[in-house]
Amino acid sequence: MRLSTIWKKLRIGSPLGRKPPGRPGPSGNDRKAEIRALLARSPFGITDVTDAALSLYDRALTHRSYANGAEYPQTTADDNERLEFLGNYVLDFVIADHLYGGYDLSPGEMNRRLQVTRNTKLAEIVRRQGLGIDGVVRRRGQAPTDSIVADAFEALIGAIYLDRGLDAAREVVLAIFEGEIAECDGRRNYRGRLQEYVARENLGVLDYAYRRTGPGNCPIWAARVSVGKTLIGEGEARTKQGAAMLAAKEALGRLGEE
């Protein structure tokens, strides 16, 4: 057998002669654009991302099945497990702090409300609020399960904390969860109660207007709620949703419903 024939057979039968399986999803500049688009949308609002930070966010959105799936180990990407560990505790701290400062609840009741961050709930929130994480997380050979989506969400919170600090992470977390937490308590769901009252009394269309002040890393949101052209409530808070909730609370008081 000629040497060239032997070499051809060896290349066909050996892993050295095969190309590694293609990775799903965009790569290179497309992947960077995909991540930037995700971060720019509400409630993240992150637009000025450095290349170093972009790598961090890419890691947060990479499942271990993708990171460990390449045939050549030197080309594998970092997965999001360490960032998920960090983000889990950042998320729990922010919500625990919010519950402690904003609600007069027993420790047992605060712990019950904290269950809003469990994995199955996180995946539901990501999809229901249209956060887009489930469409961007990289994985190999499987659908974006609740666990994969939840882990990527927590890892993204961890990345935001490392890149932007605790205040920015808090703003994002509360923008997503403040309404979820309030809905656990019918009396404190001021926006929902105001909407029901206005509809029941046929007062007209509710309209919320917002104004943001303060430095970019520690913003203050002001909200005004009107029925028709009549101002009925105002509020200020660290998050847009919090300001709207306080404006609705004031409006309920003026309408004799609080």
Q: Specify the higher pLDDT residue, 144 or 152.
A: 152
Q: Residue 142's pLDDT is what?
A: 76
**Residue range 50-62, pLDDT digits in tens:** 988 999 999 999 9
pLDDT at 74: 41
Q: Render pLDDT for 147-198 as a digit per residue (tens, 0 to 9).
A: 999 999 999 999 999 999 999 999 899 888 877 777 666 566 788 889 899 9
Going along the chain from its start, the domains and CATH numbers come out as 23-182 (1.10.1520.10), 189-254 (3.30.160.20)
What is the full DSSP assignment across the chain?
--HHHHHHHHHHHSGGGSPPPPPSS--HHHHHHHHHHHHHSTTT------HHHHHHHHHHTB-HHHHT--SSGGGPPP-SHHHHHHHHHHHHHHHHHHHHHH----HHHHHHHHGGGSHHHHHHHHHHTT--GGGT-B-SSS---HHHHHHHHHHHHHHHHHHH-HHHHHHHHHHHHHHHHHTTSGGG-HHHHHHHHHHHTT---EEEEEEEES-TTS-EEEEEEEETTEEEEEEEESSHHHHHHHHHHHHHHHTT--
Q: Which residue from 114, 122, 112 is spatially nearest to 155, judged by alpha carbons? A: 122
Residues of the chain with pLDDT > 90, as a percent, come to 45
Least confident of 99-113, 114-128, 165-179: 99-113
pLDDT in tens, 27-82: 567 999 999 999 998 889 998 999 889 999 999 999 988 877 654 444 456 899 99
Q: Decide if pLDDT at 16 tops 90.
A: no
Query: Residue 7 above 50 pLDDT?
Result: no
The residue among 206, 253, 211, 240 whose CA lies nearest residue 225 is 206
Q: What pLDDT score does 185 carry?
A: 62
Across the chain, mean pLDDT equals 81
Amino acid at 123: A
Q: How far is CA 5 from CA 10, 186, 189, in A?
A: 9, 77, 76
> Cα dihedral angle (98, 102, 104, 110), rounded to 10 degrees?
-20
Residue 224's φ and ψ, nearest 5 degrees, are -130, 130
Is 50 or 15 the better-scoring residue by pLDDT? 50
